Chains A and B, each alone.
Chain A
């Protein structure tokens, strides 16, 4: 049976809280897993005190070495688990929407800086011909 690394939702209504678990793929979401690797609190926490220009933050507890072990023996992370594990460098990032978008924007601006935008006179000459 496939072993997966996935999230199990705990917490109350409007207050989600996840356990990052290793479980067999066909067991129920909140059933007893093989192992609890950590937790993920998706609610952004307010900036920590003393942090003048602090940013909100999300709290994740993870046994990184154990996660690495499970990946090594063939556990398949779910998409969300993949995203979290890739942040600590256990896996290659799968979806790089932001990164690709950034690259597109960069390339676009580079192109614009090289090629000057068509002026009004140029467009007129094009229209007359």
Chain B
């Protein structure tokens, strides 16, 4: 294969040659090259093909379709949108809105609902429900211009790299959904795990959303400028999980759209090896024992899943408890959890009250009252205050974790 880039010497020699210049000027597509900063203006087959493409099939990609990804995979070789019906014609921006546009928001939402069908495999039944629901509503609304209506994106359209068939861009949370999660956790005081179940978003993601939203609100309060146009442009071109607002009348009875599988077992490093443990036939070997076989400190899978309470609820249902009974148990659990939360909050407040803050010119001096008694008789107690005497530093010891393991928010 010949080198793609010509050496600079060769290029300058060619550009200084008059024949090369004349060839350049004779090129009809010259007008569209204004952006090019390169000194090498000679025409190569590659260049020609590139400009042919950018003025032909590639022109469709210049302006992204609203509410859709802008990937190469959605178009065929001739620049036609593959999923569009034969009568489909792309509307230009300055064209005035027709009355068919009225059903647009519903349309986009329905599309987004259908979008998720290809990517999530474990939540197939729910997705199918959503799709069916959407189809029903589509049949009801029966828009006049069926030909004009753009079909929803398929799995093929969600491939940003045409050569890599296995890479599909994953959905991200929409702005509304993130706001709803933040409000639910902060305003309503719902636990992260409950919010995770309600919105179908993993625990970690709920935590991240709450943290980042908090930072965002703080920035707004401080008067910092946010890069909103950028965020909007990026979100417009990504597949997103929409928020089904239950307060709206048209969403009555609709379930929220699941973003991802929330109860997947996290692979513990200790379980990556394959084990063959001989066990007597007479012995009971449960999951707890299986966890212990890998590592003595490893909890069984039942305790390591993100939402054991869901399993518990299913188990109660399977044992045939009545609805009232199950409800009572669930309420008990909820009350216990709230009590725990309240106690934690109280302890935190008590600690804050014990502090004495002395504001000075540049910073606050925060005094925490401690007790010298904690050091014990020999002054080496674990809870004792201050740097230890007669103890070597352990920061060079093996296994000392120095990178931060948690984020304060």
Chain A residues in contact with chain B, CB under 8 A? 8, 10-11, 17, 19-21, 32, 35-39, 44, 48-50, 52-53, 55-64, 66, 84, 87-88, 98
B369 touches A58 (CB 8 A): no
Name the CB-closest residue of B to A46. B408
Q: Is B343 an interface residue (CB 8 A)?
A: no
Given known pairs A58-B363, A60-B368, A87-B365, the reply for A49 and B408 (CB within 8 Å) is yes
What is the number of contacts between chain A and chain B, taking CB atoms within 8 Å? 86
Pair A55/B364 contact, Cβ less than 8 Å: yes
With a CB–CB cut-off of 8 A, which chain B residues contact A61?
Answer: 367-368, 370, 385-386
Inter-chain contacts of B58 with A (CB < 8 A):
none
Pair A49/B362 contact, Cβ less than 8 Å = no
Decide if B366 touches A58 in the complex (CB within 8 Å): yes
In the bound complex, residues from chain B placing their C-beta under 8 Å from that of A63 are 369-372, 385
Interface string of B314-347 (1 = CB under 8 A from A): 0000000000000000000000000000000000
Q: Which of B357, B362, B389 has the most CB of A within 10 A?
A: B389
Query: Across the interface, which residues of A come within 8 angstroms of B221, CB to CB?
Result: 52
What residues of chain B have their CB less than 8 Å away from a CB belonging to chain A? Answer: 214, 218, 221-222, 356-372, 375, 379, 384-387, 389-390, 408-409
**B360 cross-chain contacts in A, Cβ below 8 A:** 98
Given contacts A49-B408, A63-B385, whether A36 and B372 have CB atoms under 8 Å apart is: yes
Which residue on B lies nearest to A98, using beta carbons?
A: B361
Min C-beta distance of B392 to chain A, whole Å: 13
**In the complex, A53→B384 CA distance in Å?**
33
| Contact yes or no, A88 B367, CB < 8 A | yes
A11 to B390 Cα, complex, angstroms: 14
Q: With A49-B408, A52-B218, A52-B221 as given contacts, are A19 and B387 in contact (CB-CB < 8 Å)?
A: yes
* A62 vs B385: C-alpha distance when bound (angstroms): 9
Which of these, B359, B369, B409, contacts A62 with CB under 8 Å?
Answer: B369
A44–B369 alpha-carbon span in the complex (Å):
19
A37: shortest Cβ distance to chain B, in Å? 7
Contacts of B385 in A (CB 8 A): 36-39, 61, 63
Say yes or no: B370 contacts A38, CB within 8 Å: yes
**Interface residue from B363, B386, B387, B409 paired with A55 (Cβ < 8 Å):** B363
Interface contact B371-A87, CB-CB below 8 Å:
no
Smallest Cβ distance from A52 to chain B, in angstroms? 5
With A11-B387, A36-B379, A57-B365 already in contact, 14 other A-B pairs whose C-beta atoms are closer than 8 Å: A35-B372, A36-B385, A37-B385, A39-B385, A39-B386, A48-B408, A52-B218, A53-B222, A55-B363, A58-B364, A60-B365, A60-B366, A62-B368, A84-B365
CB-based contact A44/B363 at 8 Å: yes
For B214, the chain A residues whose CB sits under 8 A away are 49-50
Nearest opposing residue in chain B for A56, CB measure: B363
Task: Tell me if B363 and A88 are in contact (CB < 8 A).
Answer: no
Cβ A36 vs Cβ B384 within 8 A: yes
The one of A8, A37, A52, A98 in contact with B222, judged by C-beta atoms closer than 8 angstroms, is: A52
Give me 7 A-to-B residue pairs in the complex whose CB atoms sit less than 8 angstroms apart, sorted by A's number.
Answer: A36-B375, A49-B408, A50-B409, A55-B363, A57-B357, A57-B366, A59-B366
**A57–B386 CB distance below 8 A:** no
Check A10 against B218 for contact (C-beta < 8 Å): no
B368 CB contacts on chain A under 8 angstroms: 59-62
Task: Contact check, A57 vs B384: say whether CB atoms are below 8 A apart.
Answer: no
Closest to B389 in A: A32
In the complex, what distance in Å separates the CA atom of A8 from the CA atom of B388? 12
CA–CA, A57 and B356, complex, Å: 12
A58: which B residues are within 8 A, CB to CB? Answer: 363-366
**Residues B386 and A87 in contact, CB atoms below 8 Å apart:** no
Q: CB-nearest residue of chain B relative to A41?
A: B366
* CB nearest to A8 among chain B residues: B387
A31: shortest Cβ distance to chain B, in Å? 8
Residues of B within 8 A of A53 (CB): 222
Q: Closest A-chain residue to B364, C-beta based? A: A57
A57 CA to B352 CA, complexed, in Å? 14
From A39, which residue of chain B is reached at the shortest CB distance?
A: B386
Q: Bound complex: CA of A59 vs CA of B363, how far in Å?
A: 11
**How far is A35 from B372 in the complex, measured between Cα atoms in Å?**
8
Q: Are B370 and A87 neighbours in the complex by a CB distance under 8 Å?
A: no
Q: Give the distance in Å from the alpha carbon of A50 to the alpha carbon of B210 in the complex.
A: 12
Query: Which residue of A has the minimal Cβ distance to B222?
Result: A52
The answer to whether B362 and A56 have CB atoms under 8 Å apart is yes
Q: How far is the CB of B364 from chain A (nearest CB, A)?
A: 4
- Inside 8 A of A87's CB, which chain B residues have their CB? 358, 365, 367
